[in-house]
Structure 1
Amino acid sequence: MKSLLQGLLVLCCLTLCETPVLAGEVHLSVAASLKEVINELSDSYTRSHPGARFLKNYGASGQLAKQIESGAPADIFISANVEWVDYLKGKKLVEPSSVATFTFNTLVFAGQPGKASSLRDLTRLNRIAIGSPKSVPAGEYAVQALKKVGLEKQLEKKLIMARDVRECLMYAERGEVDGGFVYRTDALQARQARILFTVPQDLYPKIIYPMALTGPGAKNPDAAGFFAFLHGNEAKAVLAKYGFAAQ
């Protein structure tokens, strides 16, 4: 009996060793502004691929990139600008051949109606939410726009730093600031805040959302499958539904 139990124990151990414990697990690190899009697309994907399991990490693109650099698990990275994908590419942490454009967006200023109708009007406001430019692409775009119109110094003491674009919108929704720089897609989901004006496109670089497979992601069949799915027509339709631009 003892030898039989020992034999079964060895067999179980061998079986466990041969079976990937994390089979089907896909780690996503995605810019916060894409939360609803990726939630919907991952849910749709699991309906046709029931073995896939998604672990999602949403946040500021720079923060996510630094986490990946520090060893945080990630199979797919989607940034709100090309800078952070290029950063990880330079660190050899993403597969260069996988880098592709996922979608595009527009920078707007959102807040309570009547607060402002142009960048010049911001000098009359007291508190303005902006994503920390060091890690939040929307904040970096906003700073570039303010510099081009010569308002950076006039407004620097009025700027309230936020961890990501969603926090900017939350401040505007609650009335804790007079308004905030957010993406058009975020502002469209607001309940209280409204788009007060669109920041002129010639004041900042085009907002591109690149995506890439990491080293581990390229070796993960489920991650590669979902990555291919993100290139498809269903993904394009969901992006359009949430106000993202195809080009």
Structure 2
Amino acid sequence: MKWKLVLAALFLNCCAAAGIQAETIHLSAAASMTDACKEIIAAYEAKQPGAKVLANFGASGALAKQIEQGAPADVFISASTEWVQHLADKQMAAPGSEKTFAGNSLVFVGSAKAAVLSMEKLPELKRVAIGNPKNVPAGQYAKQAMEKAGIYAALEQGQKFVLTDDVRHALMYADQGEVDGAFVYATDALLAKTAKTLFTVDAALHEPIIYPMLLTAAGAKNAAAKAFYDYLSGAEAKAALKKHGFAVNP
């Protein structure tokens, strides 16, 4: 009889563990979303004690490639439509789940002692940090803006770019004075410790900065992930985004 009780206890423990596993949600989100998403996650977990959101922040391109290679992800928030479309093309997104999450703007930050610059004067600087345009949307937007302004070639040929793995590292270099300035999102600039915004990039110089999100094919099979995905479109999540400087739809 005793061994039956032991087996029953083990069975119940396994069921409980399975339940906890089913409530685990894997979120992959653009690095610039770190602070806003952490606040959203904390609020969600407080409302849903059984849910646990495990977040992975980084460059949108790098995250999309990780997901493509099998990294666990139920919800993906990108800083550009390119990488959401990439996963959709690979049939790794739940059909019809792509939607706009937030918006942002691009700014150039540098030393608080620096004079206010303009895009045209950037070739006069020695070192400019941008996210690597191959993987980092902020870098892609910055490259578009500089190309349209006619200054990208001069900076590239002068080997003045310091390429970073994500937009937060570009901000870090500007904050630490290791570069003359950096292209970052307006929301990142709010987190600067020493750097200040020297100018806002004309939005007409680059594609609209939109953060799309999707539910992955794996996430569509996870009821907890679907609930969290729906929460991201709600009033509480939007309030957190606005608090951190993002633009949201009413």
Fold conserved between structures, TM > 0.5 = yes
* Corresponding letter in the other structure for 2:164: A
Letter in 2 for 1:33: S
Which residue of structure 2 lines up, in the alignment, with residue 234 of structure 1?
236
TM-score with structure 2 setting the length: 0.93
Give the deviation of 1:224 after TM superposition. 1.0
| Structure-2 separation of matches of 1:97 and 1:221 | 17
Gaps (5+ residues) in structure 2? Answer: none
Moved more, 114-123 or 80-89: 114-123
| Aligned-pair Cα RMSD in Å | 1.6
**Could you tell me how far apart the structure 2 residues matched to 1:139 and 1:123 are?**
17
**Structure 1 residue 12: deviation in Å?**
5.2
| Paired residue total | 244
Percent of aligned pairs sharing the same letter: 50
1:61-210 alignment runs, 5 A limit: 61-113=60-112, 114-156=114-156, 157-210=159-212
Deviations 1:171-192 (A, max 9, x none): 0000000000000000011120
CA distance in 2, matches of 1:126, 1:87: 35
- Structure 1 residue runs of 5 or longer lacking an equivalent are none
Asked if the contact 1:128/1:180 (under 8 Å) is kept, the reply is yes
Q: Deviations over 1:8-40 (max 9, x none)?
A: 565456546655251211111000001111100
> Is the contact between residue 116 and residue 122 of structure 1 (CA under 8 Å) also seen in structure 2?
no
d(CA) in 2 for partners of 1:9, 1:137:
55
One-letter identity of the residue aligned with 2:183:
F
Please show how residues 5-20 of structure 1 align to structure 2 within 5 Å.
5=3, 7=4, 11=8, 14-15=11-12, 18-19=15-16, 20=18
Tell whether the 8 Å contact from 1:171 to 1:177 is kept in structure 2 after alignment.
Answer: yes
Q: Indicate if the aligned counterparts of 1:115 and 1:178 stay in contact, CA closer than 8 A.
A: no
AA in 1 matched with 2:87: L
Give the distance between the partners of 1:191 and 1:108, measured in 2 at CA. 16
Counterparts of 1:117 and 1:125, CA distance in 2: 10
Secondary structure, counterpart of 1:74 in structure 2: coil
Output one character per residue of 1:131-180: Cα deviation in whole Å (capped at 9) or x when no partner: 00000000001111111111111101100000000000000000000000
